[in-house]
A and B are shown apart, each in its own frame.
Chain A
Amino acid sequence: MASRFGNSNSIWRQPLAVVGIIIILFWVFAAIFAPLISPYDPLSQDSDKFLMPGSLHWMGTDELNRDIFSRVIYGARISLPYSILLVVLSAFLGSIIGGISGYFGGRVDAIIMRLTDMFFAFPAIVLAMAVAAALGPEIRNAVIAITIVSWPVYARLVRGLILNAKQNDYVTASSLLGSSSLRTLVVDLRPNLAGPVFVLASLEVGNALLLLSGLSFLGLGAQPPAAEWGSMVSMGAVNFDRWWVGLFPGLAILSAVLAFNFIGDALRDALDPRTAKALRD
């Protein structure tokens, strides 16, 4: 009998997933070996400003004479770990809230679900901006802000899964054996959630990266002089006649977001088709 998770190898048979994995591996490699790869210090200002891409500066230089290629490589050290951290934090928070909502039901559930409705009513970036602005411009605060706006999607998923699983006789049997609600939630229902939450999280990494870059773009995330893709794009937006300043960090964001989404999609397809449906609904 096939595993409940389907054939885990099948992700390798999806060309887009393989492309995604290669891109992510490239960025992971870049982040780890940034000092060896990048020709210049990402913060040094000893070139000329706004040099066109050329043999010395492959991606040109920015308004503070810094080498854009080196900064893009170093940028992976911020974007990748932070977006994964964001996903882990919001999945954790969302699962707990969703778990409480689904298991206890009644008024608790109603209140939590109305709360998530409120979050869904606004574009995530707008809410994140508001929270980040209130907390002060700093990357740590950006992470808090994004976590606060990202948990509802996990809460919804986990709640739905629990409502489904709760109807199973094994949950009833467990309470007849004397298991308290809390124990049932932790022991009986948690194993049902791991797969779907993991899939959703993998789909959300790209989103998190985009939100983080977005906040940095607006000056609410990573602070100068840190090399962060979002804030670099914002420099490009100010100096829009120098196309290279914004283009290359923008392409970096695009490639990483796309790659994460390719992987997430493939994971969703590779795992239980029921899970896939629960996510689409």
Chain B
Amino acid sequence: MKPIVEVNNLSVEYTRGDQKVGAVAGVDLHVGAGEILGLVGESGCGKSTLGKAIVGILQGADGEVNFDGQQVSKIGRGQRDAHFRNLQMIFQDPYGSLNPRRKIGDQIADGPRIGGISKSEALEKAASLLERVGLPRNAVERYPHQFSGGQRQRIAIARALAISPKVIIADEPISALDTSSQAAVANLLVNLVEEFQMGLIFISHDLSIVRRISDRVAVMYLGKIVETGKTEEIWNSPAHPYTKALMSAIPHADGKAFIPLDLPGDVPNPAYPPSGCRFHPRCPLAQGECASREPLHVSLSDGRKVSCILQEAGSAPKTLTF
């Protein structure tokens, strides 16, 4: 499958004081049509920054993002190029992502209207999209405060859908929602990806939801992708100690009173990333050379890629135990 979005060696920096901080440090990613890529990692790992750089909200310091054959550049003051309007983003906070003072219908109609469609046609489209995401058509006449968090997230999805995007980057789209709404919004995204053959990058800190809905997973730690591959394979035999730690830390509602494993220490300050493998200070399997040598991003025999010296290029993933 030919990828629609291809990220090559992308780095994103921001300035804190006089200091340059590398939030994303050389990332490769791709997602194809009808595919869901789960991007997981903990707070401060740079996953949101990466998402924003992919759509062009942030400027990459190095590397490039290709979308459907053209290189993405940062959004400027003028109208965004029609080609890149097919690359959309959905945000975490359903309260901040809709304008509280504008009618739902007008907000959904924005995209088509900028694309040159008449107001009445655009509003008609908005109404049918609202229906598609499970809301009444007459919601076009209402304001965001009349809706719950889950419903607002559906509205935000409808707004992105209004211009028939080819790829959606969803940044923690369900983490701010109630349990009831979480499942429904996740299902909606899965259905839409299949129906419209969109590519979806689903950014989340929650490995259990990512495992359920994504075809492939990329695990990010401190600005770098440490492991990427097919979801089931990673879930069955994590090849990077961080992936394993992340999985082991999830508490399961199985009534077994089992307290999951914690990972000592905190995510280091990205302004001063540890030498060698960035995970080594917290890694239960770290060896002497992890502190000095940065591991290569190698391909294993099952096609996944991992950055850990415990794994050998071309061979099957070694089972990690800790």
Contact = CB atoms under 8 A, between A and B. Distances in A.
Interface stretch (B19-27, B86-94, B247-255, B295-303): B86-94
B159 A173 contact: yes
Contact of B145 (A4, A170, A181): A4
Interface in B96-124: 96-102, 107, 110-111, 114-115
A196 to B, nearest CB: 12
B316 interface: no
Interface stretch (B5-13, B72-80, B185-193, B207-215): B72-80
B114 A178 contact: yes
A170 B97 contact: yes
Nearest to B78: A180
Given A1-B145, A169-B93, A173-B159, A178 B100 contact: no
B150 to A, nearest CB: 16
A176 B99 contact: no
Interface residues on A, range: 20 to 34
Contact of B100 (A4, A175, A179): A4
User: Interface SS of chain A: helix, strand, loop or mixed?
Assistant: helix
B79 A176 contact: no
Contacts of B56: 176
A207 B30 CA distance: 61
B99 A178 contact: no
Contacts of B146: 1
A184 B166 CA distance: 24
Interface stretch (A56-64, A186-194, A253-261): A186-194
B217 interface: no
A49 interface: no
A169 B114 contact: no
A176 B80 contact: yes
B163 interface: yes
A177 interface: yes
B110 A177 contact: yes
A178 B85 contact: yes
Given A176-B88, A180-B79, A192 B93 contact: no
A168 B95 CA distance: 9
Contacts of A187: 102, 110
Given A178-B114, A188-B102, A173 B89 contact: yes
A178 B111 contact: yes
B114 A175 contact: no
A4 B55 CA distance: 33
Given A173-B89, A177-B163, A4 B101 contact: yes
Contact of B114 (A170, A172, A183): A183
Interface in A59-81: none
A153 B295 CA distance: 58
Interface in A99-124: 104
Contact of B159 (A4, A177, A178, A182): A177
B82 to A, nearest CB: 7
Contacts of B80: 175-179
B114 A179 contact: yes
B156 interface: yes
B97 to A, nearest CB: 4
A174 B99 CA distance: 10
Contacts of B102: 187-188, 191
Interface string B13-45: 000000000000000000000000000000000
B193 to A, nearest CB: 19
Nearest to A180: B79
A176 B271 CA distance: 29
Nearest to B82: A178
Interface in B107-149: 107, 110-111, 114-115, 145-146
Contacts of B87: 176
B310 interface: no
Given A1-B146, A4-B145, A168-B96, A175 B75 contact: yes
Contacts of B107: 170
Contacts of B97: 168-170, 173
Nearest to B79: A180
B57 interface: yes
Given A176-B57, A176-B85, A192-B101, A181 B96 contact: no
Interface in A174-222: 174-183, 187-188, 191-192
A170 B79 CA distance: 16
**Top 7 closest A-B pairs, CB basis?**
A191-B101, A169-B97, A177-B111, A181-B77, A169-B91, A178-B114, A178-B80
24 contacts: A168-B97, A168-B99, A169-B91, A170-B99, A170-B107, A172-B91, A173-B89, A173-B159, A176-B55, A176-B87, A177-B80, A177-B88, A177-B111, A177-B159, A178-B79, A178-B80, A178-B85, A179-B110, A180-B77, A180-B78, A181-B77, A183-B79, A187-B110, A192-B99
Interface of A: 1, 4, 104, 168-170, 172-183, 187-188, 191-192
Interface of B: 55-57, 75, 77-80, 82, 85, 87-89, 91, 93, 96-102, 107, 110-111, 114-115, 145-146, 156, 159-160, 162-163
Given A176-B87, A179-B79, A192-B99, 11 more contacts: A4-B145, A168-B96, A169-B91, A170-B97, A172-B89, A173-B156, A176-B56, A177-B85, A177-B110, A177-B111, A177-B162
